Amino acid sequence: MEVINGELLKPAGEEKLGIKVTESNGVVDKEIIKTRYENENLSSSVHFSPSSNSNVNQDDPAGDTTKPEDIIAVTPKINGYKQTIQPDFHLPKPEAPPGLSPSPPSQPYENGNAVVRSKSLSESFTAVDMPSIGKFIKDRSNSLSETISKRFSSLKFDDGDDDYMNNKVKSFDSGVTEFKISGLKVVVMLKNNEKEEQIKGRVSFFSRSNCRDCTAVRSFFRERGLKFVEINIDVYRQREKELIERTGSSQVPQIFFNDKLFGGLVALNSLRNSGGFEERLKEMLGKKCSGDAPAPPVYGFDDHEEESTDEMVGIVKVLRQRLPIQDRLMKMKIVKNCFAGKEMVEVLIHHFDCGRKKAVEIGKQLARKHFIHHVFGENDFEDGNHYYRFLEHEPFIPKCYNFRGSTNDSEPKPAVVVGQRLNKIMSAILESYASDDRRHVDYAGISKSEEFRRYVNLVQDLHRVDLLKLSQDEKLAFFLNLHNAMVIHAIIRVGCPEGAIERRSFSSNFQYIVGGSSYSLNTITNGILRSNRRSPYSLVKPFGTGDKRLEVALPKVNPLIHFGLCIGTTSSPPVRFFTSQGIEAELRCAAREFFQRSGMEVDLEKRTVYLTRIIKWFSGDFGQEKEILRCIINYLDATKAGLLTHLLGDGGPVNIVYQDYDWSINS
């Protein structure tokens, strides 16, 4: 078997398959010759690669016009292995890659030059130099990198090559540039720095949480892609004094271009409607920001606040040092890290030179302020062989994520004040790191924010707050907000649960110390807000008999709480925070938004109502199904309300189907 001028010739008596190639004026004519082989182990294939500019007739291959470089090779198969056949001498000679040894000279061409071909892998596997292959790959990679760099340079600096730009580059209004490099398609996002180059200064504005005008200003800047610095004086409270000094009042929003006061929302709307905002922006921000402009908030620095030390702290320090804290046996149980009441009385008498009655009274004050607790919660404090422990030694402490090595010994702030501060910080977080409808939350962004760092510091004030002083509305808002804030904290710290077991652990094991007791997401929802009712698929109530947290539980259930509780999933209600002054109206608004979005659908033809599965889980809070539907009408838009009213009013049966619940994270 041999190759002459591109023809694969077979021995006598056998058929042949090959290509006869002739060239005229740069155009290759090829004739495919087919015959049948008698030897089954001998077969061949023709590889033909037309270029994008060739005119190929699929039905008549011999009639096309093809350039020489389009012919690759004729490759026969002998016993299943491919053998490389040399192209016609008119075609370019292939070069062997580095590391592959060329074969000895083969049949000479007509001009006397020897044919040199590379060995196939099967033929020369043992002769391959593996380090050379690595070098070959590295060289090709560097070559590709150089080519890409040159293309970038030509895009950036070569404005005169119109043919290249027309043939190779496609520019779009969006700033995306597409071009091809040696068969590779590369899409480059060209950054538009025109506006950034023109705006050298800084846009700042003072705001408050839950302020509609501030939300409008924030949205205006985001729509125009303007970078801005927001100074929320509910988060950075000491900056309010600066605002008053600069503007003469504490009213927000107040916008600054560098160090110049621009005004509030009214001034912004006036300039926007007149069409002069861009010009005014360039005029006022054409220079770099001076040191007189409002400074951006700095991460890691807390506002200096005077906190009064609890008057009992001195006594507690002495007791922590002098009391014999050890494990004891009580009621056939080993109680860890405790001390006897009489031991504490003796230390108080000896160290503070007081009578026994006075020492017992001091012990009761320490118990009321949640410095110490009875190991089984049986009494406040009594003299004798009753065992107590300090708050930091409680067995639930390792599960409490607002405990950072020690309890907060400062004078406890009123629970309503701590709750309001929590509401403002978390609202500021949502305004910066959540979508406008609050259905999607950027947990990664929250975890790195200064607002969240301050929130983590704030929740330490919950250790010893007095929850019994809260009114019913204050308690409802306090625990709704605490639950939603804990969910965000839990997802950041432990991640979003995936399975049923992880979800149960998520709701039970992530806890806070609040008022001297531990509170999980489960105990807040089912113990406090649902008046100590069993959670779905549970046989036990959150609080047992004698649990002091029962004093905090709400006396009756408001079913609308289920539309204000967010558990960080796609199907749960959007995350929001409430105020004690408008808690009822805000819950009704939350229910209305939830049902209008996806919590309820009506199929009139099938006479079926599709309800959120939340209602099925907590059916005991909502009542009978017919009562639920009549109640829901008050929270539907006009279309859904009309359909549901028609179904309930015609006397026919109404089917209720509960929607599938999407447990994926709402990020």
In this predicted structure, what is the pLDDT of residue 449?
95
Domains belonging to the chain, first-starting first, are 203-286 (3.40.30.10), 312-395 (1.10.10.10), 415-586 (no CATH), 591-658 (no CATH)
Q: Return the amino acid letter for 158.
A: D
Over the stretch 326-384, which tens digit does the pLDDT of each residue have? 999 888 889 999 999 999 999 999 999 899 999 999 999 999 999 999 999 888 899 99
Weakest-pLDDT range from 168-177, 203-212, 222-231, 417-426: 168-177
Over the stretch 193-247, which tens digit does the pLDDT of each residue have? 455 556 678 899 999 999 999 999 999 999 988 889 999 999 999 999 999 999 9
Over the stretch 461-504, which tens digit does the pLDDT of each residue have? 999 999 999 999 999 999 999 999 999 999 999 998 887 888 99
What angle, 0 to 180 degrees and rounded to 10, lies between the N-to-C axes of helices 638-649 and 625-632?
140
Structural tokens at position 10: 């077979």
Over the stretch 59-103, which tens digit does the pLDDT of each residue have? 444 444 444 444 444 444 444 444 555 556 566 666 665 555 444
Residue 572, number of CB atoms within 10 A of its CB: 21
Weakest-pLDDT range from 167-171, 283-287, 357-361: 167-171
In this predicted structure, what is the pLDDT of residue 2?
45
pLDDT value at 650 more than 50 = yes
CA angle (480, 410, 297) in 5-degree steps: 70
Pairing mode, strands 184-189 and 176-181: antiparallel
Residue 186, number of CB atoms within 10 A of its CB: 13
Q: Return the amino acid letter for 259.
A: D
Pairing mode, strands 372-374 and 326-330: unpaired
DSSP assignment string, 333-368: EEEEEEEEHHHHHHHHHHHH---HHHHHHHHHHHHH
CA-based R_g, the chain, Å: 40
* Cα separation values, 501 from 354, 401, 497, 570, 616, Å: 54, 20, 8, 19, 20
Q: Which of 446, 401, 344 is nearest to 667 (CA)?
A: 446
Which CB contacts under 8 angstroms, 24+ apart, belong to 81-84?
81/122, 82/120, 83/120, 84/117, 84/118, 84/120
Over the stretch 232-252, which tens digit does the pLDDT of each residue have? 999 999 999 999 999 999 999
In this predicted structure, what is the pLDDT of residue 115?
45
Residues of 310-335 as b/e, b for ≥16 C-beta within 10 angstroms?
A: bebeebbeebeebbebeebeeeeeeb
Supply the DSSP symbol for 118: B
In sequence order, what are the residues at sequence separation of 6 or more whose Cβ sits closer than 8 angstroms to the Cβ of residue 75?
44, 45, 46, 47, 82, 83, 84, 85
Q: Which of 582, 477, 483, 583 is nearest to 525 (CA)?
A: 483
What angle, 0 to 180 degrees and rounded to 10, lies between the N-to-C axes of helices 265-274 and 277-284?
120
Over the stretch 522-573, which tens digit does the pLDDT of each residue have? 999 999 999 999 999 899 999 999 899 999 999 999 999 999 999 999 999 9
In this predicted structure, what is the pLDDT of residue 291?
85
Would you place residue 306 in the very low, low, confident or very high pLDDT band (cuts 50, 70, 90)?
low
Question: How far is residue 533's CA from residue 506's CA, in Å, rounded to a whole number?
Answer: 19
pLDDT value at 172 more than 90 = no
In this predicted structure, what is the pLDDT of residue 151?
56
In this predicted structure, what is the pLDDT of residue 232?
96
Query: Contact at 8 Å (CB) between 647 and 654?
Result: yes
Our CA dihedral for 403, 526, 617, 564, rounded to 10 degrees, sits at -70
Question: How far is residue 322's CA from residue 562's CA, in Å, rounded to a whole number?
Answer: 49
pLDDT value at 601 more than 70 = yes
Query: Contact at 8 Å (CB) between 253 and 206?
Result: yes
The rounded mean pLDDT for the chain is 79
